[in-house]
Structure 1
Amino acid sequence: MYIELPSHTDTKLINGGIAGMVGVTCVFPIDLAKTRLQNQRSGQQLYKNMMDCLIKTVRSEGYFGMYRGAAVNLTLVTPEKAIKLAANDFFLGAKRTMEMLAGCCAGMCQVTITTPMEMLKIQLQDAGSVVALKMGGTIIRVSAMEITRELLRTKGVTGLYRGLGATLMRDIPFSVVYFPLFAHLHQLGQHSSEDPSVPFYWSFTSGCLAGSIAAVVVSPCDVVKTRLQSLKKGANEETYNGVVDCVRKILRKEGPGAFLKGASCRALVIAPLFGIAQVVYFVGVGEFLLGYSPYNIYSA
């Protein structure tokens, strides 16, 4: 059990950053499988499921092939998670009854980091797929810096924000569902109104449950975002001109079921990611690192 400490802005940023880095390290291989499953087109079913994708990835690219794009995520997930969690707390502090609006604002704030982060991550994750092996015979190896330079050279800063609309469509509803649901689940673990402390395992469970539900709800938007942000296309792969065009073509050529590709993988990624995030956030790792204690916080 722990005492939930009131956080300063700096501790919120530290907690969010640490939580994001720990979570990403734990679940990144599943995220890679999600991306590759979502990018599969009809008639090109190279992976049967998540385990099949991971096994083929290890066979063709080695163990570290499962961590393609992890460096980008580990670099940018700190500001991304810090912005998301801190923004939600900031907007929520204005009025407790505005939980959904606070989540919406948090989702809008985080896309400034999320969009370029996901853009680069998807290129790196998809570059070593079996699709590339079948077409070219060799594993395509690129770096985040090479992709960034090419995008800036050819499309400018806006190139890094390809799929921004789809990212907003995913992250705003996710935050609207996740934060209020987590808050209410977390509150159920309180011993009493006089003793609001909650066991760490309850924070973890609440984060996992709320995260997995929110992830599945917005999975169709995540599929659209992944398709739009995937720059390398095979000879027979479809290209898309925006969100509406992408939705229309997926529906016509692959059917409604295509919008749930990778949904189980995404739930498996998001559940522990946000479970870990909430434990770090509520335990108060940032407070510990900055030397805060219950005494000097309350007496400040």
Structure 2
Amino acid sequence: MSVSALEHTAIGALAGVVEVAIMQPTVGIKNALQEGRPIPRTIPGVYRGLAVSAGAMLPITAVQFGMNRALEQTYRRVTGADKLSMGGTVGVALGAGAASAFLGCPAEFVMIQQQKRGGSLAAEFSHIMKSYGALKPFKGLSATILRESLYATGYLAIAPILREALSKQPAVQDIPGGPYVLSGIIAGLIATVSSQPADTIKTRMQAFPDNKANPEYRSFMSTTRHILATEGPGTFLAGLGPRAFRVCCAVFILNGTRNTIVDALQAHRAPHVVPV
């Protein structure tokens, strides 16, 4: 019996929490670099926003894992194929990433505001609701959709495609864990570089929630134009180092958690052969 989409959703939730608990400091450093504020110098400082970050990543990876599995099953039913094509694998991952943005965008908005103001999660949430209203946390949604689509494609599609290709190369086969390590690093770097501009735009938009006070950050296009005109294209890669490190690690953590649990479930459900 194969692992269902619902089970993949639960696995994704667990994998997301594990990844955030390990990698949260890179988020604090990355956001500070993108916003142009000082990098936190203390452990509590770099871990500020951990609760909302974990609360955000749990549903994000849950949706990405579950939606990826559901879309994969739909693709197979529609096409009659036993295995996804390369294009199908990428398309399914893009869809899974886009779906998760509707949960990730508001959660990250709250986290960024909390990191800026330094208050508690409850106090920040109350401040946002009173000052901006319930829809303001969705500011930056278009940038989040673009970022999550590219990010999910990296670890859900590119990583396994590369791992399969590298496993057939004799030079890589001789390296212990070579295909897994190399595919994770390459996929992580591709996912980071391709999605970094969208992540920078999203962070800027969410860091300045008042459209009247900061009209330059009102929309995706106005933010893009403002950054290009005042800071140059290099700004789109601000925070690339810590985010690249996090994404590469996330590829290993998320895929490793998923593969371990899925393999264990499938082994447990495999029919037992009774010796004759």
Aligned residue runs from structure 1 range 186-265, under 5 A: 186-188=163-165, 202-203=179-180, 205-231=182-208, 239-265=216-242
Aligned residue runs from structure 1 range 59-208, under 5 A: 62-93=42-73, 94-95=75-76, 96-97=84-85, 98-127=88-117, 141-188=118-165, 202-203=179-180, 205-208=182-185
1:144-198 deviations in whole A, cap 9, x for unaligned?
A: 2222223333433311211111111222233345433112122236589xxxxxx
Identity of aligned residues (%): 25
User: What is the rounded CA distance, in whole Å, between the counterparts of 1:277 and 1:202 in structure 2?
Assistant: 16
1:64-94 deviations in whole A, cap 9, x for unaligned?
A: 2110101111123212111112211221232
Higher deviation after alignment, 13-22 or 169-178: 169-178
1:190-209 deviations in whole A, cap 9, x for unaligned?
A: 589xxxxxx87754653343
User: What is the rounded CA distance, in whole Å, between the counterparts of 1:186 and 1:106 in structure 2?
Assistant: 20
Superposed displacement of residue 112, structure 1: 1.8
User: What is the rounded CA distance, in whole Å, between the counterparts of 1:200 and 1:76 in structure 2?
Assistant: 31
User: What is the rounded CA distance, in whole Å, between the counterparts of 2:266 and 2:198 in structure 1?
Assistant: 42
TM-score normalised per structure 2: 0.81
Aligned residue runs from structure 1 range 277-292, under 5 A: 277-284=254-261, 292=265
Aligned residue runs from structure 1 range 46-61, under 5 A: 53=39, 57-58=40-41
Q: What's the counterpart of residue 13 of structure 1?
A: 9
What is the Cα-based RMSD across aligned positions, in Å?
A: 2.8
Residues 245, 293 of structure 1: alpha-carbon distance in 2 compared, 3 angstrom cutoff? closer
User: What is the rounded CA distance, in whole Å, between the counterparts of 1:257 and 1:174 in structure 2?
Assistant: 20
Amino acid at match of 2:139: R
Q: Quick check: 1:28 aligned with 2:1?
A: no
| 8 Å contact from structure 1 (residues 28, 70) kept in 2 | yes
Amino acid at match of 1:159: K
User: What is the rounded CA distance, in whole Å, between the counterparts of 1:154 and 1:238 in structure 2?
Assistant: 17
SS in 1 for 2:22: helix
User: What is the rounded CA distance, in whole Å, between the counterparts of 1:240 and 1:24 in structure 2?
Assistant: 28
| 8 Å contact from structure 2 (residues 164, 179) kept in 1 | no
Stretches of structure 1 that go unaligned for 5 or more consecutive residues are: 41-45, 48-52, 128-140, 193-198
Stretches of structure 2 that go unaligned for 5 or more consecutive residues are: 77-83, 170-175
User: What is the rounded CA distance, in whole Å, between the counterparts of 1:112 and 1:23 in structure 2?
Assistant: 20
Indicate the structure with greater helix content: 2
User: What is the rounded CA distance, in whole Å, between the counterparts of 1:209 and 1:172 in structure 2?
Assistant: 17
Tell me the matched-pair count: 254
Aligned residue runs from structure 1 range 265-280, under 5 A: 265-280=242-257
1:3-46 deviations in whole A, cap 9, x for unaligned?
A: xx942234312321221111111111111111000011xxxxx6
Superposed displacement of residue 224, structure 1: 0.5
SS in 1 for 2:217: coil
Residues 262, 253 of structure 1: alpha-carbon distance in 2 compared, 3 angstrom cutoff? same
User: What is the rounded CA distance, in whole Å, between the counterparts of 2:215 and 2:29 in structure 1?
Assistant: 20
| 8 Å contact from structure 1 (residues 204, 278) kept in 2 | no
